[in-house]
Structure 1
């Protein structure tokens, strides 16, 4: 009887561990998160969506500046055409590749935008 109960207990434990969600965490970010800290698990992903006005020549840089690529890497960039005549969306995906801290940054502007008018986006990343 004890052996039967032990076998049932082990099979329940194995079943529960198979049901756990072990997929990497994904965080979605927009411009309102600029200047904030984001905590990601190792192998987690981060998706940033920022509005742009490419019709007038204003957009974000395709590549973010990353101060510590041993912690986070940019893995994808997509430009989505405007839904309205003026607003398009630029999308970046990042993957947490190592434990530590990193800062990522980008600038919004155009060829005729004065430097003092340019916007910036900065995010402080912690990978645990």
Structure 2
């Protein structure tokens, strides 16, 4: 069974590109375009990984991580923030909140893919 990856990104072109690359590499991407739809995707089967944007309609990626970490069934799901917020203080805040990795979205397609495979 393919690993399920929740892609939480409000910008459709970015979300579609990420999902395309995941599918091409044998993963099962599940899409969420805002905070509420991301929360609604937190059900069985649980995602194996969450790729998360910081800025979302209806809430922030930081709020989503806090929600995720409060729940016993979801607190151990790894989260990689994939966001345009590339300042060091943003990275530190994301990691301190509970993200497992933080990749600024000024990335090259292959570099984020290599990072997410770790």
Which structure's residues are more often strand, by fraction? 1
Which structure's residues are more often helix, by fraction? 2
Fold in common (TM above 0.5)? no
Q: Structure with the greater relative contact order (CA < 8 A, sep ≥ 6): 1 or 2?
A: 1
Larger-Rg structure = 1
